[in-house]
Amino acid sequence: MTPAATTFHPPREPRRQLNTEPVWVRRLLISLALSFLAFFLFLPLAFVFTQAFAKGIGFYFKSLTDPLTWSAIKLTLLATGIAVPLNCVFGVAAAWAIAKFDFRGKNLLLTLIDLPFSISPVIAGLIYVLVFGAQGWLGLYVNAEHPWFPWLAHWLDEQNFKVIFAVPGIVLATIFVTVPFVARELIPLMQAQGRNEEEAARVLGASGWQTFFRVTLPNIKWALIYGVILCNARAMGEFGAVSVVSGKIRGQTNTIPLHIEALYDDYNFTGAFAVASLLAFLALITLGLKTWVEYQNARQDETEISS
């Protein structure tokens, strides 16, 4: 539109007033923010990588291929491999129930999903020790004189089944701290999308599963992937809860973060940073994936709006 065609010019004055800060104030604020980011985020990241390669690339790869490191990597992958799919299924189920149905105790369920965010991971670990430890319910059950199902107690005893200071405890702790990620990501989206499309599918004769796989799931695809990425990053990096239940037996119950701590405690700084660089890489990949998913999501929204 040419200026002549407009009948009304908004007054320019107020807009200029918003930007009246002198140049030096603006530059000062920007440089403050940037130096803060550089000092607290970029510098440590750069430091991790320089330290990791401090004794050369040979030592770096030797640290990574060390059997103890390798066992930590495998354990982390195992715990993540179990926790992420389980939380994915649980998160979708919980979000579906909360967003699409009305039932008693809905708010309680919402609060429970948030519990792992509000509770300290150390306490989460301690809960598992109390329940499944040698002095906890599981220990009491296995060692009881007349347990309820003697064959089960006998079998557990025979297998030397342990949760605490063993792999099951680590998996449980990882699941606990990562519960909210997928559900929290999906609930607002599914609430915003409403029930109309599902109702339409039902009236058209679709069964519950058909409605879910053909209508609900495609609509939440990007948010779900986003939630899984965050859940995965947290599962791999979890330290607090896992450190309480693991017992830190090297080569057996050490995850990557625990192994880094162990190496550091041994004054093997370069080795510690070499393994830490793995987690840093993971963080960078997560950020990259996150940006890509956000971009895809925004593109999808855009095609929905531009009509």
Nearer to another protein, 67 or 218 (CB): 218
Distance in Å, CB of 91 to another protein, minimum? 20
The verdict on 157 binding another protein (CB under 8 A) reads: no
Q: In whole angstroms, what is the distance from residue 287 CA to residue 42 CA? A: 14
Cβ neighbors of 186 (< 8 A, separation 6 or more) are 91, 92, 95, 99, 220, 223, 224, 227
The verdict on 17 binding another protein (CB under 8 A) reads: no
Give the interface segment with another protein, choosing from 28-36, 156-164, 193-201, 231-239 (CB under 8 A). Answer: 193-201
The verdict on 192 binding another protein (CB under 8 A) reads: no
Is 90 within 8 Å of 113 (Cβ atoms)?
no
Give the interface segment with another protein, choosing from 1-9, 43-51, 206-214, 286-294 (CB under 8 A). Answer: 206-214
Give the interface segment with another protein, choosing from 60-68, 112-120, 204-212, 268-276 (CB under 8 A). Answer: 204-212
Is 198 within 8 Å of 211 (Cβ atoms)?
yes
The verdict on 224 binding another protein (CB under 8 A) reads: no
The verdict on 114 binding another protein (CB under 8 A) reads: no
Residue ranges in the chain assigned as alpha helix (H): 13-18, 23-37, 43-52, 56-65, 67-100, 106-118, 121-132, 137-143, 150-158, 167-193, 196-203, 208-211, 217-237, 240-246, 256-265, 269-305
The verdict on 101 binding another protein (CB under 8 A) reads: no
Residue pointed to by tokens 């980011």: 37
Distance in Å, CB of 300 to another protein, minimum? 9
Q: In whole angstroms, what is the distance from residue 185 CA to residue 224 CA? A: 7
Q: In whole angstroms, what is the distance from residue 231 CA to residue 175 CA? A: 10
Whole-angstrom Cα Rg for the chain: 26
Nearest C-alpha neighbor of 190 from the set 172, 168, 211, 217: 217
The verdict on 215 binding another protein (CB under 8 A) reads: yes
Considering only residues 286 through 305, tell me which ones interact with another protein, judged by CB under 8 A: 303-305
The verdict on 214 binding another protein (CB under 8 A) reads: yes
The verdict on 21 binding another protein (CB under 8 A) reads: no
The verdict on 219 binding another protein (CB under 8 A) reads: yes
**CB environment 126-158: b (16+ within 10 A), e (fewer):** ebbbeebbeebebbeebeeeebeeeeebeebee
Give the interface segment with another protein, choosing from 44-52, 212-220, 236-244, 288-296 (CB under 8 A). Answer: 212-220
The verdict on 307 binding another protein (CB under 8 A) reads: yes
The verdict on 107 binding another protein (CB under 8 A) reads: no
The verdict on 306 binding another protein (CB under 8 A) reads: yes
Reading the block at residue 194, the tokens are: 């409403």
The verdict on 196 binding another protein (CB under 8 A) reads: yes
Distance in Å, CB of 225 to another protein, minimum? 15
Contact footprint for another protein (CB under 8 A): 196-197, 199-207, 210, 214-215, 218-219, 303-307
